[in-house]
Structure 1
Amino acid sequence: MTLPTFLPAPRAVLFDLDGTLADTAPDLAAAVNWLRTERGLPPTPYAVLRPTASAGARGMIGAAFGLGPGDEGYEELRLQWFDRYQDNMAVHSSLFGGIAELLAGIEQAGMAWGVVTNKPARFTDPLIPQIGLSHAGCVVSGDTTPRAKPHPDPLLEGARRLGVDPQHCWYVGDDKRDIEAGQAAGMVTVACNWGYCGAIEPSTWGADYLLDTPTDLLQTLRTVVDTARIAERAA
């Protein structure tokens, strides 16, 4: 992707969790298929469930049962799904390939990084250490602030906790609402094509970058930092 003419040097990178840093869809899908099995129904194919993973219970239950918030039976399924998932959230979940190297590169470059997710703290807090993200500079969950993404409040809270002005933060996510939240917070936005992405084509989200791998992101960060330093010296 062509780099913009100039971007301020990033001082921090904030990440969505599910579908961005970690591949959590296998455990999310297993929990909803357990609900189907308990009701004598066949499992929903993983290929159907995976794209909905970033939408959490709403996405999974919608794909597996065709129900949404407000529909009869949805709330019972949601609560049962929460309990099942909480007991089995790190069986198959792991960081995407290249994420550990990306985070190490960010730290080596002197930048901070953190997690901003819509996942409730009930799940985020125990999952973060189990998948190797305990060294995050901040963790903001879906219920940390009164309003979740796509509202910018969680991202602004993440920047505040890192002590970095939002305009010097990048936000990376695999869902359109991630990009909307990042834009509303005044951050540079990155759509990660390696994530779940959902039904809406990421190229239409209006992100500053659409990148295919964590390695691409690290290279882009380094290029922007180098370009900004050159521009500062020339000013």
Structure 2
Amino acid sequence: MTFPVRMPAPRAVLFDLDGTLADTAPDLAAAVNWLRTERGLEPKPYAVLRPTASAGARGMIGAAFGLGPGDDGYEELRLQWFDRYQSAMAVHSTLFGGVVELLDGIQAAGMAWGIVTNKPARFTDPLLPQIGLAHAGCVVSGDTTGFSKPHPAPLLEGARRLDIAPEHCWYVGDDLRDVEAGRAAGMVTVACAWGYCGEIDPATWGADYLLDTPTDLLETLRGLAGAPLKAATA
């Protein structure tokens, strides 16, 4: 867990969804392995698929079939994966440990919070109430603004919906593009090491904070707001 020079407490915290607030990889992986089984292929090990979960269809289909956008067969797989995932989005998906307490603590401190995800609204909107996130102050999906992260537009839209200036917001995510988007939007950035994180070491992303657990984030926010901050470790 690493800390920068002391910063003021934010007025709002915006979060990525998959791999940040919610552990959705089990259902994402199940959907892509269903595609493999339908084609007479053995399921891919979950350990191979999990790190790609934050990259959505591109990551999952790439890991499961070795195909990417523009390759023959990719688009068919993407559409079938969407349909399969939509039919079973919340079978095994849950909030990460400590997230409920984190969100309760943010609200108790008088801060707002919201969700900014690259997940399309067709999945985000029905999933959130099923996993206990229906009370988000704002929800910006990957197709809300016409841009997706690392473009800053979705984050700026989240700040606009909360009626809080971007410079008073923090953005928390588990992917390099989350940090890039937050930086471009003028927000303090938090890399969450508890998420999927992909193949690039989050210590190299240049985030303002790199934290190991949701509890670490809560304690950091409490400390900046004036409550005792637990001891930091290098």
Is 1:64–2:46 an aligned residue pair? no
Q: 1:27 aligns to what?
A: 27
Structure 2 distance, partners of 1:145, 1:70, is: 24
CA contact (8 A) 2:167 2:188 kept: yes
Aligned partner letter, 2:97: G
Q: 2:211 aligns to what?
A: 211
TM-score normalized with structure 2 length:
0.95
Structure 1 distance, partners of 2:125, 2:94, is: 15
Output one character per residue of 1:70-113: Cα deviation in whole Å (capped at 9) or x when no partner.
Answer: 00000000000000000000000010000000000000000000
Q: 1:137 aligns to what?
A: 137
Aligned partner letter, 1:214: P
Indicate how the Cα distance of structure 1 residues 82 and 2 shifts in structure 2: closer, same or farther if over 3 A, else same.
Answer: closer
Indicate how the Cα distance of structure 1 residues 199 and 133 shifts in structure 2: closer, same or farther if over 3 A, else same.
Answer: same
Aligned partner letter, 2:40: G
How many residues get paired?
A: 227
Moved >3 Å (runs of 4+): 1-6
Indicate how the Cα distance of structure 1 residues 126 and 2 shifts in structure 2: closer, same or farther if over 3 A, else same.
Answer: closer
CA contact (8 A) 2:2 2:211 kept: no
Structure 2 distance, partners of 1:4, 1:84, is: 42
Structure 2 distance, partners of 1:2, 1:64, is: 34
Q: 1:107 aligns to what?
A: 107
Structure 2 distance, partners of 1:5, 1:41, is: 51
Q: Secondary structure at the match of 2:155?
A: helix
Q: 1:50 aligns to what?
A: 50
Deviation (angstroms), 1:34 = 0.1
TM-score normalized with structure 1 length:
0.95
Q: Which runs of 5+ in 1 are unaligned?
A: 228-235
Q: Secondary structure at the match of 1:170?
A: strand
Structure 2 distance, partners of 1:178, 1:226, is: 27
Output one character per residue of 1:33-90: Cα deviation in whole Å (capped at 9) or x when no partner.
Answer: 0000000000000000000000000000000000000000000000000000000000
Is 1:180–2:180 an aligned residue pair? yes
Deviation (angstroms), 1:116 = 0.2
Q: Secondary structure at the match of 1:191?
A: strand
Q: Secondary structure at the match of 1:137?
A: coil
Structure 2 distance, partners of 1:48, 1:79, is: 22
Q: 1:90 aligns to what?
A: 90
Structure 2 distance, partners of 1:136, 1:22, is: 13
Q: 2:119 aligns to what?
A: 119
Q: Secondary structure at the match of 1:226?
A: coil
Output one character per residue of 1:183-213: Cα deviation in whole Å (capped at 9) or x when no partner.
Answer: 0000000000000000000000000000000
Deviation (angstroms), 1:136 = 0.3
Indicate how the Cα distance of structure 1 residues 74 and 107 shifts in structure 2: closer, same or farther if over 3 A, else same.
Answer: same
Q: 1:39 aligns to what?
A: 39
RMSD, matched Cα:
1.0
- What is the percent sequence identity of the aligned residues? 83
Deviation (angstroms), 1:225 = 2.0
